[in-house]
Amino acid sequence: MKKRNKTFIIFSPAFPLGEEDSTWVPWLQTIVAALNNNFPGLNVIVFAFQYPYTTKAYSWHNNKILPFNGYYKNKVTRFLMWMNIFIEVRKIKKHSDIVGIFSQWCTECTFVAKYIAKFLELKYYCWVLGGDARETNTYVKRIRPEPSLLIAISDFVVDEFYRSHGIRPQHVIPTGIDISLFDSSKQEKDIDVIGVGALSVLKQYDLFVEIVAKLKEDLPGIKTMICGDGTEREYIDGMIKELGVGENLTVTGFIPHKESLKMMQRARILLHPSSYEGFGTVCLEALYAGAHVISFVQPMYCEIRNWHIVKTKEEMQLKALELLQDRNTKYESILTYTTDDAVKKVLKLFGYSTEPIDDNKPKAFSKTNSGV
C-alpha cells in the first residue's frame, strides 16, 4: 500500500502574496519556515481567509497557499467561502493524512476550524495571539472553545482571555524568533532609541515622539528612529515638527523585515509604547539584536533580562535616560524563545514528532550559523 503524505493545515486571516513580501504577518512566515526546516516530511498548506486579494492558489517557498479573498464579503458570500474552505480540506483529506488544523486568532478562522474539524474528524488547536483575548471579541461566544484546545501566546494573554471570556487557555507557546534572519556582521550601536511597528492608535507612537522630545533636553544629539507606517503617520509627522525633533527622529515608513532587524541591531533601546500587546515578537527580536526593551505590558510572568516594564510615560522616559547615560549599560544579545521551539511544541500537541531531515527536500529558508 502506498504511504500517504502527512499534511499540516494552517488557517490564517492573511498571508503574503509573494516571497519578497516580508511585511505581512512576518512572525507567521517564520513559523512556516520553521515547520519546513524541523519537519521536512510534513506538507504545510496555508488557508488565507482575507488577504491576499485573490482566489488563485500559489506557492510560497514550496508551500501551497490557498487564498479566499474574504475581506469584503457579506454574510451570504462569506458562508459560501466557508463552504469552499470545507470542500478544499475534504479534498486534501482524500489523498493525505491531515495532522490537524492550526488556526490563528480565536475569531473567524477558529470558528470555521472547529466545525470542519468536527465534521471531518480532525484535530484542531487555536493560537490566541493577543487582540482576540479582549472582551470585544464576540466570536468567542460563538466558538465556545475548550480550554485544552487554546494555545495562548503569553501568560498575559491567558489572564486576559480568562478575564474577558471566563475561559483559561491551557497551553502557552510564544511565537519566538528566527535567528537566521539576523545579519551575522557586528553592527555599530549608532541609534539611541528605536520603535518598530504600525503607526496606529493602539501602538501609541505619539508617546514615543513626546519621550524623544523630553530626552532631547538632556541629550541634544540623540538619534532615534521609527520603522513603520500606518493610519497615524500624518499625525506623528505633525508632532515631530511641532515638538522640534525633526533632526533627532527619522520615520522610515514600511521597510522589509530583514531591514528592520538590521536597524534593531544598531539600536541601544527599543521603546515599545503600545497600550496592549499579547507578546510583541519585535521585543524578542530587539533583545536578540542586543538592545534593551522598555514597554508597558509584561507578557510573561518571569523576569527577562534587559526587558524593562514601566507603568507610565514618565517612567519610560526616565528608564531610557538612565540606560543611555549609564556608561556601564551592557548591550548583549538575549535569546529567549525561538520559532523552532514553538513549532516543536505545537506539533507535539498534535501528536506529530520530529522526523529526520531529508537533505533532498527543498526548505523554506536555509538555516545558517548567525550571530549579532
In-domain check, residue 93: yes
In-domain check, residue 367: no
Same domain for 288 and 192:
yes
Question: Rounded to an integer, what distance in angstroms lies between the CA atom of residue 42 and that of residue 28?
Answer: 17
Which domain covers residue 169, as residue numbers?
A: 5-176+339-349
Same domain for 150 and 16:
yes
pLDDT at 96: 94
Task: Compute CA 233 distance to the chain's CA centroid, rounded to the nearest angstrom.
Answer: 22
CATH, residue 249: 3.40.50.2000
Amino acid at 86: F
Same domain for 210 and 113:
no
10 Å CB burial of residue 253 (0-12, 13-18, 19+) is exposed
Lowest mean pLDDT among 67-76, 101-110, 281-290, 305-314: 67-76
Q: Average of pLDDT values for 215-221?
A: 97
Question: Rounded to an integer, what distance in angstroms lies between the CA atom of residue 190 and that of residue 224?
Answer: 9
Q: pLDDT for 238-273, tens place per residue?
A: 999 999 999 999 999 999 999 999 999 999 999 999
Same domain for 227 and 129:
no
In-domain check, residue 331: no
pLDDT at 2: 60
Closest CA to 88 of 111, 107, 64: 64
In-domain check, residue 332: no
pLDDT at 186: 83
Same domain for 91 and 45:
yes
pLDDT for residue 367 is more than 80: no
Q: pLDDT for 326-366, tens place per residue?
A: 999 999 999 999 999 999 999 999 999 755 434 333 334 43
Same domain for 49 and 113:
yes
Strands (E), the chain: 5-14, 42-51, 58-60, 63-67, 96-104, 124-128, 150-152, 171-172, 191-196, 224-227, 249-251, 267-272, 292-295, 307-309
In total, how many domains does the chain have? 2
Closest CA to 126 of 275, 13, 30: 13
In-domain check, residue 108: yes
Same domain for 167 and 112:
yes
Average pLDDT across the chain, whole number: 92
pLDDT for residue 208 is more than 80: yes
Same domain for 226 and 241:
yes
Same domain for 211 and 233:
yes
Lowest mean pLDDT among 144-158, 177-191, 320-334: 177-191
In-domain check, residue 212: yes
In-domain check, residue 72: yes
Same domain for 115 and 12:
yes
Same domain for 201 and 160:
no
In-domain check, residue 371: no
Number of H helices, E strands in the chain: 11, 14
Same domain for 305 and 246:
yes
pLDDT at 354: 58
